[in-house]
Amino acid sequence: MMDNFKTINRENNMTRTGGIMSDYRVKQQLPDARKHQMISFVKSGIRIIGYMFIPFNIGVAVTLLVVSEAVGILEELV
């Protein structure tokens, strides 16, 4: 009877005392806050420069703003 209970509850990580999760699960790694901050500053700098180029050269401005969006995607991956 006890083996049956353990087998059933192994899938959902419940205990006999009411559903407390056990510690054997794989832990999620937290992102590196320092890298995220640095990439965010770089992205903001590129974006500011891109907006400054709008009155002078729209092609360069668009390119810089697209690059800043690509850096934003990279920022979310670290």
Please, how many CA atoms are within 13 Å of residue 2, restricted to the half-sphere of its CB? 0
State the pLDDT at residue 27: 78
State the pLDDT at residue 78: 86
State the pLDDT at residue 38: 95
State the pLDDT at residue 70: 96
What is the total residue count of the chain? 78
pLDDT, tens digit, for every residue of 16-65? 666 666 666 777 788 889 999 999 999 999 999 999 999 999 999 999 99
- DSSP state string for 8-70: HHHTTT--TTT-PPPTTSPPPPPP-HHHHHHHHHHHHHHHHHHHHTTTT-HHHHHHHHHHHHH
